[in-house]
Copies of this chain bind each other. A is one copy, B any other.
Amino acid sequence: MPTDANPRPTIYDVAQRAGVSKSLVSLVLRGSDHVSPARREAVEAAIEELGYRPSRAAAALASQRTRTVGVLIDDFHNPWFVELLAGLRSVLDPARYTASVADLQLEAATGSNPVEGFLAQHVDALVVAAEPAPGTLDGVDVPMVVAGMRELGLPDDGADVVAGDDELGARLATKHLLGLGHRRIGHLTGRSGPGAHRRRGYEAAMRDAGLEPAVTGEAGGTSEADGYAAACALLDARPETTAIVAGNDVMAVGALAALRERGLAAPADVSVVGHDDSPLAAYRFLGLTSVDGHSREVGAAAARALLARLDHPDAPPHRELLEPSLVVRHSTGPVRDASR
């Protein structure tokens, strides 16, 4: 039981109590293996007894490393990033690294520059999982891995990249529908990182089947409202559509609304596939068939890549694409009436 209220114990207090030098305590703290078991135990006991907590600030100042990695995500409202973060932390934590997260949407709202913030924080590395304003990443000289996106806008330096194979994912989704007998399959897209790849995967699968792709939503975003709008456009332009591949789950939910408005039901009249396999997709009331991009695994792999980069600053760039899988629920089914 530490006697509280006195100034917070320092490394010196621990050293004194353990009967060793402050340097030895520092060694123990940093997990050096050049410390005799006896001393180590003594130090650990002293730490425990004193309730000692190392000062990160002092350690950072002295070592010029913060053991913090900046993580740039797009929006905490999007569960995809929450999962990515969970994966990231699952490997960063054991490696004694702390994640400092910035949410682009939030950051934009408060008018601050997230990358600037990371730099001010002197992060040791960066995980870029969302595209920041052009130019923001320019002067950055810390190791950087791109996660969940296949590339950054401009700086095509050989940064490490770990992402889900969105193209394959969309292909999977489209093939699933083709397998159910659908031929009139439309795609709802939107401007956004993964958007282009997903769309491309859909188009490729359609062409492979000798069908002509039908894409709407190119001009819009990727929200529920955008999905609704794109679905309306699609259904109005091609009422014969029997299946829809949406750019993501919320767009798929938007599509559901467009269908209902037109007296159509999923999957009876039109099948709908989402993308991301968010919690949303799993709700019974929706039961969306969705492409699982394994964002948690992407996060974990990105963190591993980062750690590797930190160890070998000039290893060749690492590129890794994880294979997505399709989670079939009940928003998709066989074509009922191919003639509609």
Contacts and interface: CB of A to CB of B under 8 A. Distances in A.
Interface of A: 4, 51, 53-58, 60-61, 66, 76-77, 79, 82, 85-86, 89-90, 93, 100-101, 106, 109-110, 112, 119-122, 139, 141, 224, 228, 250, 253-254, 256-257, 260, 279-280, 282-286
A85 B102 CA distance: 12
A93 B122 contact: no
Looking at chain A's contact residues, the main secondary structure is helix
A61 B53 contact: no
User: Closest 8 CB pairs between A and B?
Assistant: A257-B284, A57-B60, A257-B285, A57-B61, A256-B285, A76-B82, A57-B57, A93-B110
Contacts of A57: 56-58, 60-61, 66, 122
24 contacts: A4-B141, A53-B122, A55-B122, A56-B120, A56-B121, A57-B57, A57-B60, A57-B122, A58-B61, A61-B61, A76-B85, A77-B279, A86-B106, A89-B106, A90-B109, A93-B112, A224-B284, A253-B286, A254-B283, A254-B284, A254-B285, A257-B283, A257-B284, A260-B285
Contacts of A254: 283-285
Nearest to A93: B110
A109 B121 contact: no
Report how many copies the assembly holds.
2
Contacts of A82: 76-77
Nearest to A117: B98
Contacts of A141: 4
Contact of A285 (B4, B51, B85, B253): B253
Contacts of A93: 110, 112
Nearest to A225: B284
Given A77-B279, A253-B283, 9 more contacts: A53-B122, A55-B122, A57-B57, A57-B61, A57-B66, A76-B85, A101-B101, A224-B279, A254-B285
Contacts of A120: 53-54, 56
Nearest to A228: B284
A57 B283 CA distance: 45
A34 B285 CA distance: 63
Contacts of A58: 57, 61
A228 B254 CA distance: 22
Contacts of A53: 119-120, 122
Contacts of A253: 283, 285-286
A86 B107 CA distance: 9
A60 B60 CA distance: 10
A224 B147 CA distance: 30
Contacts of A77: 79, 82, 279
Contacts of A101: 101
